[in-house]
Structure 1
Amino acid sequence: MKKANLLIFLLFPLFCLAQSSFKLKGKIFSETTSLEWADVSISNSEGKIIDGTTTKQDGTFEMNIKKGSYKIGISLLGFTDYEKDILIENDTNLGTIILKENTTNLVEVVIQSKKKTVEQKTDRLVYNLENNVTTVGGDALSAINTAPGVVVKNDLITILGKGTSRVMIDGRMIELTGEELNNFLKSISANDIKNIEIISNPPAKYEAEGTGGLINIIMKKGVHDSWKNTTTLSYDQNKYGIYTLRDNFFYNKNKFRIAASINAKTGYKNADEALDMYFPDGLSSMKSVTKVKNENLSGKLAVDYDFSERTSVGFQFLNDRNNPDFGSNIRIEKYNTQNQLQNVTLNDSYTDKSSGNQTYNAHLITKLDSLNRKLSFDADYFNYNSKFDRNFTANNYTPDMTFVDVNQSGRNISNQEIDNWSFKADMEHPLQALNLSYGAKMSFTNSISDVFYYNTITGNPELDPSQSNRFKYTENNQAVYINGDKKLNEKWNFQLGLRLENTQTSGFSETMNQETENNYLKLFPTFYTSYKRNENNTFSLNYGKRINRPRFDLLNPFKVYINSNSYSEGNPFLKPSFSDNFEFAHSYKEILRTSVFVNVITNGYGVLFTSNPETNTQIVTRENYFKNLNYVVGESYSAGLADWWSSENSLYFLGAKTEFIKNINATPSNSLQVEFSTNNTFILSKTTKLQIDFSYSSPFKSGLYEIGYASSFDIGFKQDLFNKTFQIAFLANDIFNMSYLKDFTSVVNGVKQVYSQNESNRFVRLSVVYNFGNKKINVKERAFGNQEEKKRTGN
């Protein structure tokens, strides 16, 4: 009852914001279908734009306007502009407005070339990647990495200053993480992406999981009664070669919408690693060269059917398979305190690694009335499985490479399977005072992890029970949310939301006969306000509280060997961390954008690189060991230096203050970090573009770790042929090979460790894209209701 009273108290101010303004609404259609993303503007008698919005997926728009005479303007790429004088004396419905198609191809090309690369909206930053040549022939992951203020490093997608970010497609969550999320995004062609939205503080409708903001990928759409097929073939050359073939088919006619895709990748990439560990009795230096198979096959089938103008149902199936087998040659050199080489260990290993997931989704969407009340239901089933099978042998040698003995010989097998069911309902409920939305979700997860270790030093595999285990984990989650937003007038907008999540977890280790349970009920508020001072200046302030739950595989307490001198182990006692996120932003003419982030993390968990000096072994563990205060000041500048030259530039200053909440025998250290990037597009002709990009990240200290600098210099070229039926693109990525992770340093228990990793970031790519069919395609993309659980299955 207290929580209900709190909810009413917090939302009451929104209900009291109703003003003496009137509601203006309407629908925008072509001759065959509704038009999404049409720009609607309202001008006063002096011709000055005083308000505006964009149409929703069903072509509707709505805004609050004071009494008076105005001119409404509607524009959309590929259609003739619409203007009309209107008189507002009460609530007004303009009905259905039909836009006529503009068939002049030359005009369309000119408009596209001048489209802004970055647009500042009231609650998000919109990145139009069609101007960036380096994304042609690429995938969604590479496209995200070119977005302003977003960095993709070490399998993590991060909004600078916000932490690891979640990814959506057309407003629906994709909750995979790490390698699994990257593989999913690599199966999506960048050519089918309209723009990318960067949302620093997500509203209460979305799960509170994750410390960072949201990356929302908006797919291209078109009109009814059409079909389209896009085939992309690309070849990447690093030390080895990688072939990628993608085919996407869309069909949209009458009441049916079908989307099907298949994506295949095969080839190899090279990965070099180096690790220096400074033990009391001398240096242990490890160098590794690995040839990684890049093999992926994925597909999707989605079918939607409209029972009526108000109700539609759909089904979607997604299957993704990866087989990144790899063989490693590892050399470990041991020195004494006088820096004299004492012995050499050669470690040869081969890993048979595979993973896959299947997702089934059924959904129903119904519009309840003419007031745009909309109810949606989703039912999802998700299955994830992975296999890790490593054989390794480590032999000891004298400094002159005379064989001494076998250091270690073993086989490490790790399997994991996760099943998840989820059900959710969402309601959009516009009121006279404010736009209200609310909903609920239930999720049920079961996970089983097996770890087996066999000692093969005698030639006959012998199971070691002390290093083998079966770990069972269950997690159930129930959540409800309510969100309200209100446009007070032409200058002020407010939004307030609350999400309540109840979670029960249980982990059981069969070998240790140990069960760990954790139950918690948490409230996650969000608040947002924006102030439009004039046409040139817009200010915004927002706040959100979030939770970061450990991935399922991090909770398994047993060892997985990386090599004979290094192993990783999970922690069944890991607890979620929480973050409070504040942001203040200012936009000037949508050219200069200033952002100030403050992020407070409590009970933070992360990786600890500890060691055992007696055996010269590295131990990779996870602990809740810190709390953090992060702060960021960022500037972004969009410059049209000439009709043929546009430039997007950003400069971020990041700092932190870290405190260790657990005795890990280490001292926190922080320093200022600088992130700079410049993306430059040159229009050489109507069909030819050149792209030159540069990014730089300074060395910095963050809590337990110190990280070296990274930079990347990229050149891209695109040529359109046969009225864009064919596209040929060339990309030289990280030309100077400086974007890899270097000098990753930590000191725990008096042992200094320095790690570097280079995974073939330098490569050249040649891509050919072929489009045929009717290009004006309208396909509704949909993700899955249990995506929060899928996120935590990553490797």
Structure 2
Amino acid sequence: MKKVNLIIFLLLPLFCLAQSTFKLKGKITEEKTSLGWSNIIVSTQDGKIVDGTTTKEDGTFEINIKKGTYKIGVTLLGFTNWEKEISIEKDTDLGTIILKENATNLGEVVIKTKINTIEQKIDRVVYNVENNISVVGGDALSAINTAPGVVVQSNAINILGKGASRVMVDGRMIELSGEELNGFLKSISATDIKSIEVITNPSAKYEANGTGGIINVILKKGIRNSWKNSSVISYDQNKYGIYTLRNSFFYSKNKFRFAFSGNGRTGNSRSTEDLDIYYPNGLWAVKDDSKQKENNLSGRVSLDYDLSGRTTIGFQYLNENAAPDMRSKTDIKIFNTSKTLDSLLVNNGNNNKYSGSQTYNAHLVSKLDTLGRKVSVDLDYFSYNSKFDKNFMATSYSPDGTYQNTNQSARNNSNQNIDNVSVKTDLEQPLQFVNLSYGAKVSFIKSNSDVFYYNTISGTPELDPNQSNVFEYKENNQAIYINGDKKINDKITVQLGFRLENTQTNGYSETLNQEVENNYLKLFPSLYADYKLNKNHGFNFSYGKRINRPGFGLLNPFRSYINSNSYSEGNPFLKPSFSNNFDFTYSYKKNLRTNIFFNTINDGYGVVFTSNPEINTQIMSRENYFKENSFGIGENYSAEITSWFETQSSAYLLGSKTSFISDINAVPSNSMQVYLSTENTISLGETTKLQVEYFYSSPFKKGLYEIGYMSGLNMAIRQSLFKNKLQLNFLINDIFNKSYLKGYKSIVNGVTQVYSQNESSRFFRLSATYNFGNKKINVEQRKFGNEDEKKRTRK
């Protein structure tokens, strides 16, 4: 009898609990169409989530819930959120809930409500570029250049005061740099871009590599059960012409989503370079005029399938091929100490190039429950290969043009093959006191590269083993991270993260029989704090520690010739550099932002332009040669002044203090820099807009280099037809031809060099964009897991 009483006592609470729960059910639809996999969230009146589920394929749901008063919320990507407060005292049927389509997800409809051009988030600045006229018909590279505080110059994308930045597309890191990164971004249509995120201090979730922050390009998305096609054709005219054709197709129905995009680019561009080298025995005035092919073909395919309302699997494949062959002529005027022309050296060169990459990604995403716990797994394989075949001949002439001799003729071949395998797992776990995310990643890299130099002056190629090399590089990396954010109250939000990375590298020169190893374990913290004083005033602080690993090509110790008197060489002893980055931002009425920052770099490495006066040769080497403190203040203002006039303007004052940590025969110098920009849009009617842009960068000195002024004036006009389905655009870029790099000066070993480069900065563009379909595509973009490796393949 005692046992029976004990059992009854133990079961009584469960019996009472069962009696006090009721069924809550309903159905979610879009007019007559059921909306499966909608999120149903049950929360208390103070916002604490107590239960939830997702709707079945037919849009129905059912939850067992205790007696009480709750807020019932319904969310689904592409639709306006629905919320209602109800009291549960019995089984309740909410009936049919109709969600309304969210117009901001339709790229082709006219949106009456203006979106803020610049938005300050806790860990990033969001720049909305959907209505930027100058980039319509262009590409992602030109769009990035319009983001506040971002400058694209000489194949480098920089956040002002931070240095070269990494680039992501929809959260997927693009592991390229320099010309290769620019080529990739040119394959993305600017009309497909919704916004650009500028992340100066990335959180612990992101790889720690890269001192200059992250630029994240967000593409436009639609909704489920629909399809859409977008086509763009454009023509750019500089000295030569470039044709570009892009097409993207998206399809989504029920559990299945498919996307395909193809991009083709053909034509030629012109690049001119001027270099004055003041040798002790006289000036060498170098002028180079190159014609480069703009041949690029790329494609991307992605598939996603919902195994259930909570679990999705998918696959992505990306292929890129480029053949930017170049023909160049370099004239070198050689003067004596009396400034009289002594001779003329003419270099004619042909550089046949090819590069290709393939990226495979398989992924799984699963919502573990309705409270926000989610796990994702990515398996990636990346391969890259490149071939360069450089032929050049140097011929000497007397001042009157009489042939003297052929003093050098050579062929320089270079090949590189890279393989990378990585596995990454991320878990999001919202808790009552903090929202946690944590994960791990392992990656394995192998790079094989070779450089072969042939002397062809006799007519028969002869291998020069002293200028040839076979180099192998291996790198393994293991990383774990944890990140937590907490909304303390309506005004204060904080976020703290830690990332631990363990790295092992090995570089081996077969020719020199030289091996270099470097193993290190480092911790990378990040911190964010956001304070909203009221609706008009907000404050944001962030800190992050970062690492900058040398690219694979920078570690190969042998020479790659640019012309007969100029070559580039790597350094197998390069070490990674480390940076500490501090940012403080004040926001006023979401229109005015004031940003103050301070950054430190230790063991900084970079290109050192030196000259050998004995043989009159320019050498581009890489060294860990500096320590630097950078600081600055920036003002950004954006507003709709009238119904027909909008403006966005920026002003920055930047400075740095650099000291050399190696035996470079040079003296560091630093000065302040002023950077100004403005973008103004004028509505000439319902379907016609005019945009005028201008920027100015003052001359400044930074460490080893002095850089001249730059400025640029652009004008663009857009005409929309057929309810915005067709857009015609005309752009004149750099009207006065002043936005190119010039006055780039350094003094090393007592030799002064002054350099300038213009890569067709002045051009005009005609473009047409046409969209058709039902404008309701919803394709989930996945990022690849090998985020830290692919970028360095092109350095």
Structure 1 length-normalised TM: 0.89
In structure 1, the residue matched to 2:419 is 419
Shift in CA distance, 752/671, structure 1 to aligned 2, threshold 3 Å: same
Letter in 2 for 1:202: P
Q: Higher Cα Rg: structure 1 or 2?
A: 2
Q: Shift in Å at residue 666 of structure 1?
A: 0.4
Q: What does residue 740 of structure 2 align with?
A: 740
Q: Which residue of 2 aligns with 1:377?
A: 377
d(CA) in 2 for partners of 1:79, 1:211 = 38
Residues 463-493 of structure 1: CA deviation (Å, up to 9, x unaligned): 0000000000000000000111111001111
- CA deviations 1:753-778 (Å, max 9, x no partner) are 00000010111000011111121110
Query: In the alignment, which residue of structure 2 is the partner of 1:662?
Result: 662
Q: What is residue 759 of structure 2 aligned with on the other side?
A: 759
Whether 1:356 and 2:359 are equivalent positions in the alignment is no
The range that moved more, 75-84 or 482-491, is 75-84
CA RMSD, Structure 1 to Structure 2 (Å): 3.1
Distance 1:79 1:785 in 2: 30
Task: Describe the SS at the equivalent of 1:308.
Answer: coil
Deviates more, 1:397-406 or 1:496-505: 397-406
- Aligned residue in 1 for 2:3: none
SS in 1 for 2:793: coil
Give the structure 1 partner of residue 545 of structure 2: 545
Contact 1:429 1:435 in 2 (8 A): yes
Q: Tell me, yes or no, if the aligned pair for 1:176 and 1:787 is still in contact at 8 Å.
A: no
Corresponding residue number in structure 2 for 1:465: 465
Superposed, 1:3-14 pairs within 5 Å as none
Structural mapping, 1:291-440, within 5 Å: 291-440=291-440
CA distance in 2, matches of 1:605, 1:380: 30
Distance in 1 of aligned mates of 2:77 and 2:513: 64
Give me the whole-angstrom Cα distance separating, in 2, the residues matched to 1:108 and 1:773. Answer: 10
Give the match's secondary structure for 1:511. Answer: coil
Shift of 1:70: 12
What CA deviation, in whole Å up to 9, does each residue of 1:704-746 have, x standing for no partner?
0000111111111111111122111111111111111101000
Q: Is the 8 A contact 2:477 2:501 kept in 1?
A: yes
- Which residue of structure 2 lines up, in the alignment, with residue 15 of structure 1? none
Distance 1:638 1:36, change over 3 A: farther
Matched with 1:623 is 623
Amino acid at match of 2:674: V
Residue 121 of structure 1: CA displacement? 2.4
3-state DSSP of counterpart to 1:738: coil
> Match of 2:487?
487
Deviation, 1:787, is 2.4
Query: Which ranges in structure 1 are unaligned for 5 or more consecutive residues?
Result: 1-25, 45-49, 52-56, 59-68, 89-93
Aligned pairs for 1:448-527 within 5 A: 448-527=448-527
- Quick check: 2:648–2:678 contact (8 Å CA) kept in 1? yes
Q: Which string of whole-angstrom CA distances, capped at 9 and with x for unpartnered residues, describes residues 264-309 of structure 1?
A: 0000001110110011111111001101111000000100111001
Residue 792 of structure 1 aligns to a residue whose secondary structure is: helix
For structure 1, which segment, 750-759 or 191-200, has the greater mean C-alpha deviation from structure 2 after superposition?
191-200
Output the CA distance in 2 between the equivalents of 1:666 and 1:482.
Answer: 43
- How far has the Cα of 1:366 moved from its partner? 1.0
Q: How does 1:98-497 map to 2 (within 5 A)?
A: 98-101=98-101, 111-112=111-112, 114-497=114-497
Q: Which runs of 5+ in 2 are unaligned?
A: 1-25, 49-53, 56-68, 89-93
Preserved CA contact (<8 Å) 2:38 2:74: no
| Contact 1:33/1:224, CA 8 A, preserved across alignment | no
Q: Give, in angstroms, the shift of residue 780 of structure 1.
A: 0.8
* Residues 1:774 and 1:753: Cα distance change in structure 2 (over 3 Å): same
Contact 1:653–1:675 at 8 Å: present in 2 too? yes
Deviates more, 1:296-305 or 1:182-191: 182-191
Q: What does residue 23 of structure 1 align with?
A: none
Structure 1 residues 215 and 35 mapped into 2: Cα distance closer, same or farther (>3 Å)? farther
Query: For 2:469 and 2:531, how far apart are their aligned partners in 1?
Result: 57
742-751 or 681-690: bigger deviation: 681-690
Shift of 1:116: 2.1
- Which residue type is aligned with residue 750 of structure 1? G
Q: Is the 8 A contact 2:267 2:294 kept in 1?
A: yes
Shift of 1:186: 1.3
Q: What SS does structure 1 have at the residue aligned with 2:361?
A: strand
**Secondary structure, counterpart of 2:457 in structure 1:** coil
Name the counterpart of 1:6. none
Contact 1:180 / 1:793 at 8 angstroms: preserved in 2?
Answer: no
- Mapped contact 2:693–2:714 kept (Cα < 8 A): yes
| Contact 2:176 2:793 (8 Å CA) reproduced | yes
Paired residues for 1:572-587 under 5 Å: 572-587=572-587
Per the alignment, residue 720 of structure 1 pairs with 720
Structure 1 residue 213: deviation in Å? 1.5
Match of 1:794 in 2: 794
**Range that drifts further, 257-266 or 400-409:** 400-409
Question: How many pairs align?
Answer: 747
Q: What residue identity is the alignment partner of 2:612?
A: N
Check conservation: 2:106, 2:222, Cα contact below 8 A: no
Please state how far the C-alpha of 1:107 moved relative to its aligned partner.
14
Q: Kindly indicate whether the alpha-carbon contact (under 8 Å) linking 2:196 and 2:215 is maintained by their aligned counterparts in 1.
A: yes
Relative to structure 2, which stretch is displaced further, 637-646 or 467-476?
A: 637-646
Q: Secondary structure at the match of 2:328?
A: strand
Match of 1:594 in 2: 594
> What residue identity is the alignment partner of 1:794?
R
**TM-superposed deviation, 1:75:** 11
The reply to whether residue 679 of structure 1 matches residue 682 of structure 2 is no
Question: What's the CA shift for 1:101?
Answer: 3.5
Distance 2:178 2:589 in 1: 37
Using a 3 Å threshold, how does the CA distance of structure 1 residues 301 and 342 change in structure 2: closer, same or farther?
A: same
Structure 1 Cα separation of the partners of residues 527 and 179 of structure 2: 32
How far apart are the structure 1 equivalents of 2:709 and 2:352? 33
Distance change (3 Å), C-alpha of 1:110 and 1:452: closer
CA separation of 1:27 and 1:678: change in aligned 2, threshold 3 A: farther
C-alpha separation between the residues in 2 aligned to 1:311 and 1:106?
26
Any conservation in 2 of the 1:109–1:686 contact (CA below 8 Å)?
A: no
Distance 1:568 1:107 in 2: 46
Change (3 A) 1:246 1:103: closer
1:776 matched residue in structure 2: 776
Q: Is the 8 A contact 1:492 1:529 kept in 2?
A: yes
2:288 counterpart letter in structure 1: S
- Determine the structure 2 residue equivalent to 1:695: 695
Going from structure 1 to structure 2, the CA distance change for 1:375 and 1:43 (only over 3 Å counts) comes to closer
Contact 1:335–1:342, Cα closer than 8 Å, also in 2: yes
Query: What CA distance in whole angstroms lies between the structure 1 residues aligned with 2:758 and 2:343?
Result: 26
SS in 2 for 1:793: helix
- In structure 1, how many angstroms separate the alpha carbons of the residues matched to 2:451 and 2:428? 46
Letter in 2 for 1:649: S
Letter of the structure 2 residue corresponding to residue 720 of structure 1:
S
The one-letter amino acid paired with 2:402 is T
Counterpart of 1:535 in structure 2 is 535
Alignment of 1:559-578 (within 5 A): 559-578=559-578
Q: 2 CA distance for matches of 1:783 and 1:156?
A: 23
Distance 2:196 2:185 in 1: 13
User: Equivalent residue for 1:636?
Assistant: 636
Structure 2 CA distance for aligned equivalents of residues 105 and 481 of structure 1? 33
Contact in 2 for aligned 1:594/1:634 (Cα 8 Å): yes
Distance verdict in 2 for CA 1:35–1:561, change over 3 Å: farther
Instruction: Name the CA shift for 1:32/1:611 in 2 (closer, same or farther; >3 Å).
Output: farther
1:505-546 superposed Cα distances (whole Å, 9 cap, x missing partner): 000111111000000000000111111111111101110000
Q: Is the CA contact 1:33–1:223 (under 8 Å) kept in the aligned structure 2?
A: no
Secondary structure in structure 2 of the residue aligned to 1:133: coil
CA distance 1:732–1:70, shift in 2 (3 Å): farther
CA 1:200–1:87: 2 relative to 1, 3 Å? farther
User: Given the superposition, is the C-alpha separation of residues 240 and 95 from structure 1 closer, same or farther in structure 2, using an over 3 Å criterion?
Assistant: farther
TM-score by length of 2: 0.89
